[in-house]
């Protein structure tokens, strides 16, 4: 992969770093028309950081990496699923590369270390009636130690809490952009989904699946080539394309 003098992958554009934004994803959604494909936006803090399912993502100033990427290529549903999964693989590899910390991926694309969530990824499609015109990938990474607000059902942690080496924001950003560029170039390479599965902390675990109509017990058996989670509920098996799951012993619910 070629990079420019600043270490950015060729063809990528780094927008000026924002001191404070409500959300880097929201800003890119609002300004997508005027931004180039593969534009990257970073904010020092977010005042209304968002996670999946409307959750708040705590985004204290200079304590985490709040970075969003705009992809303007048209994407099929299968490609969107792979991008969502492999964005987590890119971050997992970037954390290992930049500070030597081994993390695991909780399906679909949260990063965990020793039971603590250190990062979340929010992928949002910009659609017309006919097709998906663009995709925004938002990375929220807890980099430095901090006091987190109470999070019901979640144990947040930071890279610095576990890393064998002090984390560097610059090294993490550079590694993440190179890794996400590599993953996007290899969406159809089965070795990348194999690597994603190898990083999973979900496979062969009892889980709770949370859906709009309720919560139910299941067992996570595998993740397929499209990033779908194969679960077993009693004698029935089915695939989840998206959704919310919790990994815990069934008896502790």
Output the pTM of the full model. Answer: 0.91
pLDDT reported for residue 110: 94
pLDDT reported for residue 2: 47
Q: How many CA atoms lie within 13 A of 228 on its CB side?
A: 13
The residue assigned the tokens 């000026």 is 16
Residue 36: both structure tokens together: 């180039």
Mean pLDDT of 63-89: 92
The residue assigned the tokens 């999964």 is 85
pLDDT in tens, 99-148: 999 999 999 999 999 999 999 999 999 886 667 789 999 999 999 988 88
| Residue count of the chain | 253
Mean pLDDT of 35-44: 97
Rounded to the nearest angstrom, the gap between the alpha carbon of residue 59 and the centroid of all alpha carbons in its chain is: 15
Is residue 110 within 8 A of residue 88, CB to CB? The reply is yes
Is residue 56 within 8 A of residue 49, CB to CB? The reply is yes
Residue 219: both structure tokens together: 């067992």
Model confidence at 1, in pLDDT bands (50, 70, 90)? very low
Mean pLDDT of 17-39: 95
**Between residues 74 and 7, the one the model is more confident about:** 74
Closest CA to 28 of 184, 79, 90, 18: 18
pLDDT in tens, 186-229: 999 999 999 999 999 999 999 999 988 889 999 999 999 999 99
Give yes or no for residue 150 having a pLDDT over 80: no
**Between residues 126 and 179, the one the model is more confident about:** 179
Q: How many CA atoms lie within 13 A of 38 on its CB side?
A: 12
Residues 6+ apart with CB under 8 A from 186: 192
């Amino acid at each position: 992969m070629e990079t420019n003098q600043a270490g950015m992958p060729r063809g990528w554009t780094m927008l000026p770093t924002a001191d404070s934004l409500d959300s880097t994803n929201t800003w890119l959604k609002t300004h997508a028309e005027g931004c180039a494909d593969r534009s990257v936006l970073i904010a020092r803090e977010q005042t209304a950081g968002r996670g999946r399912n409307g959750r708040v993502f705590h985004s204290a100033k200079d304590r985490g990496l709040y970075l969003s990427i705009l992809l303007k290529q048209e994407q099929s549903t299968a490609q969107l699923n792979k991008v969502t999964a492999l964005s987590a693989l890119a971050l997992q590899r970037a954390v290992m590369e930049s500070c030597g910390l081994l993390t695991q991926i909780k399906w679909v694309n949260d990063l965990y270390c020793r039971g603590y969530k250190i990062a979340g990824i929010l992928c949002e499609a910009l659609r017309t009636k006919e097709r998906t015109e663009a995709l925004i990938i938002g990375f929220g990474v807890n980099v430095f130690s901090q006091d987190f607000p109470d999070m019901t059902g979640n144990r947040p942690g930071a890279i610095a809490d576990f890393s064998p080496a002090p984390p560097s924001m610059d090294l993490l950003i550079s590694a993440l952009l190179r890794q996400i560029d590599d993953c996007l170039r290899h969406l159809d390479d089965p070795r990348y989904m194999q690597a994603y599965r190898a990083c999973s902390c979900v496979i062969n675990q009892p889980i709770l699946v949370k859906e709009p109509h309720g919560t139910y017990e299941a067992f996570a058996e595998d993740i397929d080539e499209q990033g779908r989670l194969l679960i077993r509920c009693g004698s029935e098996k089915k695939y989840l394309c998206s959704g919310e799951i919790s990994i815990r012993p069934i008896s502790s619910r």
